[in-house]
Chains A and B, each alone.
Chain A
Amino acid sequence: MSETSTGTLSVVVERQIPYPPEKIWRALTQPHLIEEWLMKNDFQPVVGHHFDLRADWGAVGCRVVAVEPNRTLSYTWEAYGLESVVTWTLTPSATGTHLRMEQAGFRPDQQQAYQGAKAGWPRFLAALEQLLARTD
């Protein structure tokens, strides 16, 4: 059991960046700039907009969830049948911007097809973690 897989399934990366939020916001939201550091895309900063991030190995399907210029950007991230949510938070600091990216776990299932079991992703993964902890 790896250390990072315990608790909630989310990934957080934070960095102090020596540039103002406005400049970072451009890099996060303008397609030709996004392509330079992330992937080819047809992004638009519009809530509900569907876009793809494309790389040699395949594509990530995304949908814009939240846009608050220079402060917050959030979109779904679906690859390999798993949907997660990526949220960027920009906070001005004395030396520039505190940039935070959180990719949060798996979307709970909308429906439950199997009677007597609640197998939504979060519960499923929690159950597996318990099980794997016992079998160590």
Chain B
Amino acid sequence: MHANSAVSVRPVAAIAALAMLLAAAPIAPNPRDAAAEAAAMKTNVKISMFAFSPGVTTVPAGSSVTWTNNDDDAHSVVADNKAFRSAPLDTGDSYSFTFTTPGVYPYHCGLHPQMVGKIVVTR
């Protein structure tokens, strides 16, 4: 019974895996990219008391990061290498950016450059 049920699952899993590969294929022909795509996530960085929290965020390529300003003062999010730049964020405002290329992205607040953070994008 146990063996049977285990066996019966396998074709389903195989089909699901194949379907995922096929679905990912047109965008990312490289299987490694497909794996990264599958691991991609949405993550949040909080802006509070003139600091980014967490200060360092590590995400797989393809992930989207959302910053939300919880301070009463305005802030912004600007990549040191200019890869991304938010509009000024008023209290409660958010900004999202999707990281497709692995690497390290240091960033700062455009109004208060002493506020710094880092996004580490892995494969």
Q: Do A and B bind each other?
A: no
Q: State the B residues within 8 Å of A (CB).
A: none
